[in-house]
Structure 1
Amino acid sequence: MKSIFFTLLLTSFSCFAQQDIIQLWPESAPGQSEPKLPALVSKNNSGGVTRLSKVTDPSLTIYQPDEAVKNGAAIIICPGGGYNILAVDKEGYEIGEWLSQLGYTAFVLQYRVPKNKLGALQDAQRALRTVRSMSERFNIDKVGIMGFSAGGSLSARAATRYSETLYPATDEIDEISARPDFSILIYPAYLDQGNDKSLTPELKITQQTPPMFLFVATDDSFANSSLVMASALQKSKSPYELHITPSGGHGYGMRSGNPAAETWPALCQKWLSKEILKVSPGN
């Protein structure tokens, strides 16, 4: 395989330690005419959230676990933000830190925004292929994708449209499968844009759809997205686990003080151990 365009850069956001970064596209991203520039950080930091308001150079920020706990699985994290911004710390870096402590090699995806749904899916496919191409480097044998809100939408799209050719191949990496081994959707949005709030038509669920974990609060305005997705998975006999909690709203990440934010991580951790790592209870 040709050299994988692995550019090591150093970056620092808030209180996070410096991390290595992979630029996804060796040249311009597909369909993009403007030059690649560093992500633009929004002046709006309300709620203590770092928001990226423009991404033209899609990348993966790496969170590697200690060798003592490394479990051989990787998870690509897609922050939310309505496909307009990326809540990159609350739904990205903080999640990467947590997953790495559990033994997962985590990659926070900065996909193209604003208003570039096709570009975002191209970036997600490229991210899955890139991480899988580095399986020996990171000693991983499974690659999943995880997302919050619009990032949950993106993860669902990546988990159901992996066989589609969405951009011209740029190198050998693009010959690798873009199918995630599993997906995790935390308060996903935009999955019910079909007739009468049915499943969004672009999401094609089959028995080959990867195993999926879904979590949502009943008072979330996007709660129906999780319900219609779970229903479609049930009909196709695809493996999934759905959790619904009474309250929590939307957009909470895993920050303390919100009942939903304090509930989903343990449930997700248990599902990953049982369904993905195949660890028996008590082991």
Structure 2
Amino acid sequence: MTRVPAQVDEGAIPLIDPEAVGANTEIWTSIGTERWVRNVNHPTLLPVLPDPEKANGAAVIVVPGGAFQFVSIDNEGYPIAEWLAEQGVAAFVLKYRTMQTPVPEEELSEHIQRIFAPTPDMEPIDAMQGIPAAVEDAQAALRLVEAQSEDWGIDTDRIGMLGFSAGAITTMAVTLDESDAPKPDFIGHIYGPMTSVDVPADAPPLFTALAADDSLFGRQGFGLVDSWVAAGKPVELHFYENGGHGFGSYKRGSTADAWFDQFVGWMTARGLMALPEPE
């Protein structure tokens, strides 16, 4: 793990007044195959808009994972948004607030171990403490996209969210929230928890994908899908033989490589990719 310069996305829109949260504390760390954005306290939303000739009016807020300790922006952020834009979908990369991690990279491995595999002499870290801030930022992103929908050529009935791992947890929490906060019109839940939930009456169509050899959620069963089915809500499940956790934009020669094409196919079949009717 090595420190790398922070990438400045000129088009990123702040979701919180920077003056209200103080100096930007985020750190960009390379792990060799991708960069992680850590210690985020200035959440942003980056529009990645399609060519106007391809635009179909649909929008997707992309919520990367990272155990609420970092944002996996190179694997589950930028490339996913670019793929969506190529399909005519207005995409938005959410860089949400994360929990604090040690500043020195040499201390980061032990920090991650305290979350997933703490030894008896370690004080465990509950990563779920990061959910509230991520949810607030995701809800702010939905409000922003809805507010700017006319400028971006977006149909306000076709604004979805696509979350990966911790991003899938965030997406589901936004969907299940009982307040009057905005909700997505459809959701993609990629290698997130599969435990059962209480499905609200206005639950949106759900696309979920998971690999059988996912070390975190691969052996939880399919309670989430059963919950959607029992509630009479549309759901599509793709359960791959292999692919591990975090396949995202990686191509590893497994059937999980096909998840994005299948997600687009699902959106198409549901009419979410249809061009708007001429007035």
TM-score range with shorter-chain normalisation?
A: 0.7 to 0.9
Q: What TM-score comes out, normalization by structure 1 length?
A: 0.78
CA deviation after TM superposition for structure 1 residue 46, in Å = 2.3
Structure 2 counterpart SS, 1:48: coil
Who is 2:46 aligned against?
61
Which amino acid is the alignment partner of residue 79 of structure 1?
Answer: P
Residue 117 in structure 1 maps to residue 102 in structure 2: no
Which amino acid is the alignment partner of residue 158 of structure 1?
Answer: V
Count residues with an aligned counterpart. 238
Who is 2:14 aligned against?
23
Who is 1:188 aligned against?
192
Deviates most, 236-245 or 254-263: 254-263
Name which of 213, 229, 238 aligns with 1:234. 229
Identity of aligned residues (%): 32
Residue 223 in structure 1 maps to residue 207 in structure 2: no
Who is 1:151 aligned against?
167
CA deviation after TM superposition for structure 1 residue 223, in Å = 2.4
In the aligned structure 1, how far is the partner of 2:173 from the partner of 2:32? 28
Unaligned 5+ segments in structure 1 are 1-10, 166-176, 193-198
In the aligned structure 2, how far is the partner of 1:22 from the partner of 1:246? 39
CA deviation after TM superposition for structure 1 residue 117, in Å = 1.4
Q: Is the 8 Å Cα contact of residues 252 and 258 (structure 1) preserved in structure 2?
A: no
In the aligned structure 1, how far is the partner of 2:45 from the partner of 2:91? 9
In the aligned structure 2, how far is the partner of 1:93 from the partner of 1:38? 21
Structure 2 counterpart SS, 1:157: helix
Residue 41 in structure 1 maps to residue 28 in structure 2: yes
Which amino acid is the alignment partner of residue 160 of structure 1?
Answer: L
Q: Is the 8 Å Cα contact of residues 79 and 147 (structure 1) preserved in structure 2?
A: yes
Task: Return the structure number with greater relative CO, CA threshold 8 A, min gap 6.
Answer: 2
- Check 1:150–1:28 CA distance in 2 against 1; reply closer, same or farther (3 A cut): farther
Over the residues paired in the alignment, what is the CA RMSD in angstroms? 2.2
Q: Is the 8 Å Cα contact of residues 214 and 226 (structure 1) preserved in structure 2?
A: no
- Check 1:241–1:247 CA distance in 2 against 1; reply closer, same or farther (3 A cut): same
Which amino acid is the alignment partner of residue 36 of structure 2?
Answer: R
Q: What TM-score comes out, normalization by structure 2 length?
A: 0.79
Name which of 143, 148, 151 aligns with 1:134. 148
Give a deviation string over 1:155-206, Cα, whole Å, max 9, x none.
1111111x426xxxxxxxxxxx5111110011113x53xxxxxx3xxx5312
CA deviation after TM superposition for structure 1 residue 36, in Å = 4.5
- Check 1:124–1:84 CA distance in 2 against 1; reply closer, same or farther (3 A cut): same
- Check 1:164–1:36 CA distance in 2 against 1; reply closer, same or farther (3 A cut): farther
Residue 257 in structure 1 maps to residue 273 in structure 2: no
Structure 2 counterpart SS, 1:262: helix
Q: Is the 8 Å Cα contact of residues 240 and 256 (structure 2) preserved in structure 1?
A: no
CA deviation after TM superposition for structure 1 residue 49, in Å = 1.2
Who is 1:168 aligned against?
none
Who is 1:164 aligned against?
179
In the aligned structure 1, how far is the partner of 2:219 from the partner of 2:226? 10
Who is 1:207 aligned against?
201
